[in-house]
Amino acid sequence: MTAQLIDGNALAARTRADVSRRVQALKARGVTPGLAVILVGEDPASQVYVRHKVKDSEKAGLHSVLERHPATLSEADLLARIDALNNDPAIHGILVQLPLPKHIDAARVIESISPAKDVDGFHMASAGALVTGQPGFWPCTPYGCMKMLESIGYELRGKHAVVIGRSNIVGKPMALMLLAKSATVTICHSATQDLGAFTRQADVVVAAVGKRNVLTADMVKPGAVIIDVGMNRNDDGKLCGDVDFAAVREVAGWITPVPGGVGPMTRAMLLVNTLEAAERT
């Protein structure tokens, strides 16, 4: 059996088109959704990410502001900028690109963002809302994974989902979102013994580790849905995920590719969160 692909590029394009339509409707009511992206320092990967985020927002008709600050920016000055954006009615979403320089306490910075503008979904209030099932912003990567499962009409109720990875931005929120859909959820991590014993029982596996070939074909139940969040480089320097894609696709029922899977959906969900922040005002 060769798995069907869950095409993140195509789904992201549909998601962006829907966002554009809703942005036009909001504009007709006199509201233009606004996103502020803050970059501190010169990290090359971060520069690429923020450029994409700003370009995506502009294409979807959002108002977007990119603030670049030198790596020497003090924490107090950054907090003052966030305070100004919290009080700026033209800005509905604020995103501080991570990582921040070492002299800045990232947790304190994230907590300074108004929860109403926390479109990355990293604020404690957003995490609490997710845990308790209240409305709030969901982190873009696991939210995008949920949209991918939804796009294939997958019924999670009663299924066993295994999440590999327990970070605050991917693994843990992913597990909570799957739980909210009544899946039985197992979270695996670096101390998990015999990872394959868990994944072989899984109807859905979400791999969010950051290591190549964490999930190989012998670890997958035939027909399972495989969502690959990982972003790694192979020996040729090409982008690849955590999953041994070529072999696993011969066993799985559905699989997301890397590139062209979770990455584009993560970007699209930032637009959704920003739009929804504006719709709530």
Please give the positions annotated as active site.
53, 97, 120
> Which is nearer to ligand NAP, 154 or 198 (by Cβ)?
198
- The CB-of-245 to ligand NAP minimum distance in angstroms stands at 14
The residues near 16 (Cβ < 8 Å, ≥ 6 apart) are: 56, 59, 60, 268, 271
Task: Count CB neighbours of 80 within 10 A.
Answer: 12
Candidates 76, 79, 60, 65; CA nearest to 37 is 65
Which residue number, 112 or 256, has a Cβ lying nearer to ligand NAP?
256
Task: Give the pair of three-digit tokens for residue 92.
Answer: 């509905």
Q: Is 164 in the site for ligand NAP (CB under 6 A)?
A: yes
Nearer to ligand NAP, 73 or 149 (CB): 149
Q: What torsion, rounded to 10 degrees, do the Cα atoms 103, 104, 105, 107 define?
A: -150
Tell me: does residue 209 bind ligand NAP (CB under 6 A). Answer: yes
Q: Which of 32, 167, 201, 216 binds ligand NAP (CB under 6 A)?
A: 167
175: phi then psi, degrees, rounded to nearest 5? -60, -40
Q: Total binding residues for ligand NAP by CB under 6 A?
A: 26
Cβ atoms of 183 and 157 within 8 Å: the answer is yes
- Indicate the SS3 state at residue 268: helix
The only residue of 68, 181, 211, 212 in contact with ligand NAP, by rule CB under 6 A:
211
- Hey, which residues does 240 pair with through a beta bridge? 232
Contact between 171 and ligand NAP by CB under 6 A: the answer reads yes
Specify the DSSP class assigned to residue 117: G
Site string for ligand NAP, 220-259 (x = CB under 6 A): ---------xxxx---------------------------
| Contact stretch for ligand NAP (CB under 6 A) within 69-77, 89-97, 123-131, 169-177 | 169-177
Q: Which residues bind ligand NAP (CB under 6 A)?
A: 141, 164-167, 169-171, 188-192, 195, 208-211, 214, 229-232, 262-263, 266
